[in-house]
Amino acid sequence: MEEKLARLKTILAEAHDLLHVAELLEWDQQTYMPVGGAEDRGYHIGTVKRLAHERLSSDGLGRLVEELKPYAAQLDPDSNEARLIRVTEREYTKRTRVPPEMVAELAQLQALGHRAWTEARAEDNFPKFRPLLEKIVDQRRRYAEYFAPYDHVYDPLLFEYEPGMKTADVKQIFTALRPKQVELIQAIMSRPQVDDSVLHQPYEEQKQWDFGLRVVQKFGYDMRRGRQDKAPHPFTSSYGLGDVRITTRIMPNYLASALFSTMHESGHAMYEQGIDPAMARTTLGETKSLTLHESQSRLWENLVGRSRPFWQHFYPQLQATFPGQLGGADLETFYRAINKVEPSLIRTESDEATYNLHIMLRLELEIALMEGNLAVKDLPEAWNTRMQEYLGVIPPNDALGVLQDVHWSHGNIGYFSTYALGNLVAGQLWERLRTDLPDLDEQIRRGEFSALLGWLREKIHRHGAKFDAQELVQRVTGSKIDPAPYLRYLTQKYRGIYGF
C-alpha cells in the first residue's frame, strides 16, 4: 500500500504543479499582461487546466483511490494519509462528472471576461460586458447540470468554494443574521455620525505602499515567500508554500483603501504560508474552504487592524509617515474614522456593520441567475433595486454598481457567500482566541503578533484542506458556524463608538 500511496502522491503532485502554473498565468493576466493578450492567455490557461483535470479525473487515479480505501479505513481518520485519500476521492468524483472540454471552455471565457469587465468598468459600459457574462452564466448552468440531481441548482457552484455546504444552509444562516444586522445598523444610524474627513486627503502612494507592507510583515507575512503588486481588484495567489503573492489597490486621496486591502490579503497569504509542508503538492495542500480563507483575511483586516489596541501601537508611526495629514488628528479621531458606519456603494470599502448586506444582495442575484429567474440584461436594475432596499443607496452608474466586483468575469459564481460566512467564523475564532490568549489586547498594543499567528497556525492554517469549514470550526470553537459571536463583537464595538 505504501507504493500505491506514493503513486497517488506523484499523480497529485504533477496535477497540482499544472494548476499552480495556470494560477501564475492568471496572476500575470491581472497584473502585467498587455490587454491584447487576453485571448491567447485564455488558450494557455485552458490547455494547462485541461491537462491537470485529465490527470485528476483519470481512470488510473480512480483505481488507486479505490485500492487505497481499505488501507485508509485502518488508519487514524484524522491522519494526513486517511484524509488525503478521502479528500482525493471526493475531488475525483466531482471531476469525473465534468468533461475536460468544459474546463478549457471556462478558462477561455474567464480570460475574455476579465478583459471585457476591466474595459466595461473603466468605461461604465455594462453592455460591453453583458455578452461575455451571458456566456459565463450559461456555462455555469451547464456545469451544474453535470451534478444533477441536486437539492438546488446553486449547490454545485457553492461546492466549488465551500465543500459540504448547501444553498439551504447558507440561506438559513443569513435569514437568522439579516434582521439582527439591520437592527444594529438602525441603532447606529440613530446616533450622530462620525467624521472621517481625516481619511479623505491626498496621501502619497509610495508611502501608503511602504506602510502597509511594514504592517503585514509585522503580522508575520513572509516576504521571502511572497510579494505585493497592484491590481484593479485586490487578490491573493498561491503557487506553493514558497510563493504566495498579494496585490492591493491604492487610492491617492483615501488612506484606508490600500492599507486595509493589504492587511486583508496578507491574512489570506499567511494562511497559505502556514499549511503543513507535508501536504505540499497534494489535494490537502490547498485550502478548499473559502469561508475559512475569508475568516483569516477579515480577522486580520478588521478584528486586528481596526482595533483600538492595534492603533495604539501603529498610529504614532502613521502620523510620522503623514505628519501634514494626521499631525492634528488624535488617536480617537482616527480610530472612529476607520470604523465609521455608513451605507455605501462599494463592497470592498464598506464598514463591518453593513458589509454582510452587500454579500446577501450578491447571493440573491446569483441564485436568481442560476434559477433562470433573472436575465443578465436585467442585472443593473435588479442590483440598484436591492441596493436601495438593503442599504438605502442607489449607484449613480454601473461602474459603482453591478460592475464593481471582478468575480463574475472569472466565472466565480458561488463565491460571494463565503465572505459573510468568513466574517461569522472570524467572530467565533476571536472569542476563542481571547479565552486562550487572555492578554491578546496587550500583545497587540505592543505590536506583538507571534502568539496570535501561532494560534491560527496550530488551529487553522496547518490543516490545509483536511477538514471542511463546519467540521474545523466545531473542533476549534465547539459549535458550527454561528452568527452570535460576530454580532456580539459588532454590538460591543459600535456601542463604544456611537453610544447607542
| Residue 38 pLDDT class (50, 70, 90 cuts) | confident
Rg of the chain on CA atoms, in Å: 22
Query: DSSP class of residue 479?
Result: S
User: Which residues neighbour 92 within 8 Å (Cβ) at sequence distance 6 or greater?
Assistant: 56, 57, 61, 62, 65
CA 130 centroid distance within chain: 25
Q: Are strands 228-230 and 244-248 parallel, antiparallel or unpaired?
A: parallel
Model pLDDT for residues 61-79, shown as the tens digit of each residue: 999 999 999 999 999 999 9
The answer to whether residue 18 scores a pLDDT higher than 90 is yes
Helix boundaries (H) for 96-146: 100-123, 126-145
Model pLDDT for residues 377-399, shown as the tens digit of each residue: 999 999 999 999 999 999 999 99
pLDDT at 316: 98
| Residue 447 pLDDT class (50, 70, 90 cuts) | very high
Average pLDDT for 28-48: 90
CA 155 centroid distance within chain: 19
Model pLDDT for residues 93-140, shown as the tens digit of each residue: 999 999 989 988 998 898 899 889 999 999 999 999 999 999 999 999
pLDDT at 210: 98
pLDDT at 286: 85
pLDDT at 348: 85
* Angle, vertex CA 243, rays to CA 241 and CA 248, nearest 5: 125
Domain 167-498: assigned CATH number = 1.10.1370.30
pLDDT at 229: 95
Read off φ and ψ for residue 424, nearest 5 degrees. -65, -45
- CB–CB of 198/329 below 8 Å? yes
Q: Specify whether 265 is catalytic.
A: yes
The answer to whether residue 287 scores a pLDDT higher than 90 is no
Cell of 490: 459588532
Q: Which residue in 265, 286, 294, 301 is the catalytic one?
A: 265
Residue (of 139, 133, 173, 135) closest to 156 by Cα position:
139
Q: Is the dihedral of CA 241, 239, 154, 358 positive or negative?
A: positive
Average pLDDT for 480-486: 95
**Could you give the CA distance from residue 157 to residue 147 in angstroms, rounded to a whole number?**
10
User: Which residues neighbour 247 within 8 Å (Cβ) at sequence distance 6 or greater?
Assistant: 30, 31, 228, 229, 230, 231, 234, 235, 236, 265
| Residue 232 pLDDT class (50, 70, 90 cuts) | confident
Looking at the whole model, is its pTM more than 0.85? Answer: yes
The answer to whether residue 1 scores a pLDDT higher than 90 is no
The answer to whether residue 233 scores a pLDDT higher than 90 is no
- Give the burial class of 3: count Cβ atoms within 10 A of its Cβ; 0-12 exposed, 13-18 middle, 19 or more buried: exposed
**Could you give the CA distance from residue 417 to residue 421 in angstroms, rounded to a whole number?**
6
Residues of the chain with CATH 1.10.1370.30: 167-498
